[in-house]
């Protein structure tokens, strides 16, 4: 997507054919700083410190991290230690594990001297595969926005509410929830995005608002509390959010607060869509509320917040009384009954086992074969 | 309620019989600073700058402001100019207007030399009346907490979720939504309060957490996004919130985000109560969503936030990208169908016209006489 008018991805191979470029996302939205990673350690640090974040981007960064590792030590021991170092950065990230295992599968059978080249090639493929999936989600979701636009008699603009950041910054390019929005914008459908700030980490206020702004998509940042009021007053035509994990029955685990927006959408007859790359479907799960464990993160994400002071410095300030405890549940589960549809790279599925199996019939056989 | 172990109100007559003490609430939760108001101008400033806030407390402060005004100029012109100065501070505050009109009604018939004394007496009465109403709400709400405690077999603790600040800091003492909680705490029912931080002004994180902490009530601050998850997992036994305006049909306008919590409570069979002094019922309104205009406040409340830096200074920082617009809807309306009951000083009413009229039969006659 565009940044200051220039097309960018979130991760790229530098012109020297070895270094890996990334955006330091911890400095957004106040500053755009790109970094050139040249060592395995730097890639591990970038993932650990959340300079890169978002499941698909973490996977891509880990793949390139393996490539950087192969330049330093392409022996079997080198593959092992690079895998271990990268896996330790965000141990619960599914895409991280998947990307590292995929790289190992490709690298270990090769002679050490062939490994670095193969690793760079495969990392580039992983990036391109992510972009292809997201373009598929964009194409599948576009008709939903076109329908909303037609329903309004092509008057005014389509108002779309989103939560957290499921944009291109969370992927290699295009994003998941924002992919159909970027495509609709490209197709000149007038639209406007309500961006939930998404406390406590504020990914909406910092990342989603920044990327929409850079690409020229009209948007407005709101407190997470405001969406219900907007829906009561017909200010939201549809919601599109991302998901970290989807059950075979269509329940959706996403950033905490998603469930509240889905309830408000349901109460006001606003379509509520969830965009996802099909690999994030967990075909072994049936009941998201009961079966998906919700990560509790550090309470300081609630008690403190960072922002830019008037003098340009980035400051962290305390919001709560010194002795008041805080709790920080990172995700919640939105039951399938509140989800209008799941936007996948193959099309839009009903949020149910039958709906998903209609799009992914191979999973039926797989399950039968278990 | 207690502050550092000592009972305090939010507003009091100083020992000199003339000055009016307040807590500068803009400095909470980081610093407890009390101010002595000695002039009309200082009282007006305290209301305008939100050193005192919360509908009942604003009314009490305006009453004492009139008393301070009478010490400076007790002529008819003095009554007029004091009224005008105070009314201009928060022109939409219903309690402010009511308190000033009440004072004028009492003062204008008196000889100027008798006005200052009468004003101080009436201001003290207004404070005591507020406390009496809140004690009534406490008594009416206590059985709801006792019931929740009994339902748990008197095991563990009663978990109560609240939004914004409807505590003693918003009133003269006791509060509205928090009044039954303070009384239950006094009666040794083990309880714990989930405090919504309440973006964008963070009254929960700053004021509710502070006052509960000072009084020794166990509590945990959470992002506004977290309540749905907690209710899905049986971590909330009941919700109690306040309200700024209640329709005759039981719809409730309260701080933005209240509606989302009410939806989650309804979806999870968690009782959702709204505490209110009966004077905030607007008997002329029937449909809150359609009839209650929602104030839009300054967008900088969303784009910026103040907190305490590590060096002890209070800093304001920017959270959003420089060119991203923000919108700031201050309230939302929770339809009566989502409200389990209205806790008033006369008892708990069903959230309906019939329910309210059963407690306030005199309003039936009044309406019939209109």
pLDDT exceeds cutoff 60 at A170: yes
Lowest model confidence (mean pLDDT) among A87-96, A323-332, B272-281: A87-96
DSSP annotation of A334 reads E
Give the confidence band of A370 by pLDDT, cuts at 50, 70, 90. Answer: very low
pLDDT exceeds cutoff 90 at A95: no
Nearest to B302 among A197, A302, A310 (CB): A197
Contact between B225 and A198 using a beta-carbon 8 Å cutoff: yes
Contact between A332 and B232 using a beta-carbon 8 Å cutoff: yes
Closest C-alpha to B1, from B160, B212, B203, B158: B212
- Give the active site residue among B173, B196, B244, B251: B244
CA distance A367 to B225: 35
- Give the active site residue among A130, A224, A237, A244: A244
Q: Is B231 exposed, middle or buried (0-12, 13-18, 19+ CB in 10 A)?
A: buried
Give the mutation candidate from A210, A213, A223, A298 for the B interface (greatest B CB count, under 10 A): A223
Give the confidence band of B369 by pLDDT, cuts at 50, 70, 90. Answer: very low
Q: What share of chain B is helix, strand, coil (3-state, %, to 5)?
A: 45, 20, 35
| Mean pLDDT rounded to a whole number for chain A | 96
Instruction: Kindly give, in sequence order, each residue whose CB lies less than 8 Å from that of residue B362, ignoring residues fewer than 6 positions away.
Output: none
Beta bridge partners of A252: A246, A334
Average pLDDT over residues A169-185: 98
pLDDT exceeds cutoff 60 at B370: no
Contact between B256 and A306 using a beta-carbon 8 Å cutoff: no
How far off is chain A from B310, nearest CA to CA, in Å?
Answer: 7
User: pLDDT tens-digit profile of B127-185?
Assistant: 999 999 999 999 999 999 999 999 999 999 999 999 999 999 999 999 999 999 999 99
List, as ranges, residues 106-135 from A with C-beta within 8 Å of B. none
- Residue A369 is predicted with a pLDDT of 43
Instruction: Using a pLDDT cut of 70, give the percent of chain A over it.
Output: 98
- Residue B95 is predicted with a pLDDT of 87
Give the confidence band of A43 by pLDDT, cuts at 50, 70, 90. Answer: very high
CA distance B103 to B97: 10
User: pLDDT tens-digit profile of B201-238?
Assistant: 999 999 999 999 999 999 999 999 999 999 999 999 99
- Residue B367 is predicted with a pLDDT of 56
Identify whether the C-beta of residue A307 lies closer than 8 Å to the C-beta of residue B305.
yes
Nearest to B317 among A223, A309, A323 (CB): A309
Sheet (strand A331-334) strand order:
A281-282, A245-247, A252-255, A331-334
User: pLDDT tens-digit profile of B289-304?
Assistant: 999 998 899 999 999 9
How far off is chain B from A84, nearest CA to CA, in Å?
Answer: 34
Q: How many C-beta atoms lie closer than 10 Å to residue A113's C-beta?
A: 9
CB-CB neighbors (< 8 A) of A304 in chain B: 307
Lowest model confidence (mean pLDDT) among A4-13, A32-41, A190-199, A356-365: A356-365
- Residue A368 is predicted with a pLDDT of 46
Contact between A219 and B316 using a beta-carbon 8 Å cutoff: no
Per DSSP, which regions of chain B are E strands? 2-3, 6-7, 11-13, 20-23, 34-37, 158-162, 191-196, 219-222, 238-241, 245-247, 252-255, 272-275, 281-282, 304-309, 314-318, 331-334, 341-344, 347-349
Tell me, yes or no, if A102 is annotated catalytic.
no
Q: How many C-beta atoms lie closer than 10 Å to residue A129's C-beta?
A: 16
| Mean pLDDT rounded to a whole number for chain B | 96
Instruction: Kindly give, in sequence order, each residue whose CB lies less than 8 Å from that of residue B369, ignoring residues fewer than 6 positions away.
Output: none
Nearest to A329 among B229, B264, B267 (CB): B229
Residue of A nearest to B332 (CA): A229
CB-CB neighbors (< 8 A) of B255 in chain A: 225
Q: Is the peptide bond before A29 cis (omega within 30 degrees of 0)?
A: yes
- Residue B138 is predicted with a pLDDT of 98
pLDDT exceeds cutoff 90 at B366: no
Average pLDDT over residues B53-60: 95
- Residue B91 is predicted with a pLDDT of 80
User: pLDDT tens-digit profile of A46-79?
Assistant: 999 999 999 999 999 999 999 999 999 999 999 9
How far off is chain A from B271, nearest CA to CA, in Å?
Answer: 17
φ/ψ of A358, rounded to 5, equals -65, -35
* ipTM passes above 0.90: yes
Average pLDDT over residues B2-20: 97
3-state SS string for A302-317? HHEEEEEECCCCEEEE
Closest C-alpha to A275, from A227, A249, A239, A248: A239
User: pLDDT tens-digit profile of B261-292?
Assistant: 999 999 999 999 999 999 889 999 999 999 99
What's the pTM? 0.96
> To the nearest 10°, the Cα dihedral for A340, A341, A342, A347?
-160
pLDDT exceeds cutoff 60 at A277: yes
Identify whether the C-beta of residue B223 lies closer than 8 Å to the C-beta of residue B203.
no
Identify whether the C-beta of residue A195 lies closer than 8 Å to the C-beta of residue A162.
yes
Our CA angle for B323, B257, B278, nearest 5°, is: 135
Helix or strand holding residue A103 (H, E): helix A94-107
Average pLDDT over residues A247-274: 98
User: pLDDT tens-digit profile of A189-213?
Assistant: 999 999 999 999 999 999 999 999 9
Identify whether the C-beta of residue A232 lies closer than 8 Å to the C-beta of residue A265.
no
Instruction: Using a pLDDT cut of 70, give the percent of chain B over it.
Output: 98
CB-CB neighbors (< 8 A) of B329 in chain A: 222, 226, 229-230
Chain A touched by B206 (CB under 8 Å): yes
């Amino acid at each position: 997507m565009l940044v200051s008018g220039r097309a960018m991805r979130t991760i790229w191979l530098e012109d020297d054919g070895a270094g890996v470029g990334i955006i330091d996302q911890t400095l957004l939205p106040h500053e755009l700083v790109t970094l050139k990673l040249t060592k395995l350690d730097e890639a591990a640090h970038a993932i650990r410190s959340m300079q890169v974040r978002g499941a698909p981007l973490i996977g891509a960064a880990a793949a390139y991290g393996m490539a950087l590792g192969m330049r330093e030590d392409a022996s079997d021991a080198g593959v092992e230690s690079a895998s271990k170092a990268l896996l330790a950065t965000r141990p619960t990230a599914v895409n991280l594990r998947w990307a590292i295992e995929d790289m190992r599968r490709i690298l270990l059978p090769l002679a050490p001297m062939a490994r670095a080249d193969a690793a760079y090639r495969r990392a580039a493929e992983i990036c391109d595969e992510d972009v292809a999936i997201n373009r598929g989600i964009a194409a599948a979701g576009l008709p939903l926005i076109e329908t909303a636009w037609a329903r309004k008699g092509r008057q005014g603009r389509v108002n779309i509410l989103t939560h957290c950041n499921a944009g291109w910054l969370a992927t290699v390019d295009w994003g998941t929830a924002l992919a159909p929005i970027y495509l609709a914008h490209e197709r000149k459908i007038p639209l406007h995005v309500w961006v939930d700030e998404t406390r406590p980490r504020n990914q909406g206020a910092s990342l989603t608002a920044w990327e929409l702004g850079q690409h020229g998509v009209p948007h407005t940042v709101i407190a997470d509390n405001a969406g219900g009021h907007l829906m009561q007053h017909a200010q939201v035509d549809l919601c599109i959010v991302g998901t970290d994990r989807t059950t075979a029955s269509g329940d959706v685990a996403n950033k905490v607060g998603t469930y509240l927006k889905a309830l408000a959408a349901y109460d006001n007859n606003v379509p509520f869509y969830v965009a996802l790359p099909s690999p994030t479907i967990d075909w072994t799960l049936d009941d998201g509320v009961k079966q998906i464990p919700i990560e509790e993160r550090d309470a300081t994400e609630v008690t403190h917040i960072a922002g830019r002071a008037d003098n340009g410095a980035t400051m962290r300030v305390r919001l709560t009384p010194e002795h008041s405890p805080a709790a920080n549940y990172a995700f919640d589960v939105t039951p399938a009954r509140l989800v209008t549809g799941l936007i996948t790279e193959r099309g839009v599925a009903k949020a149910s086992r039958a709906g998903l199996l209609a799009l992914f019939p191979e999973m039926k056989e797989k399950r039968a074969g278990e």
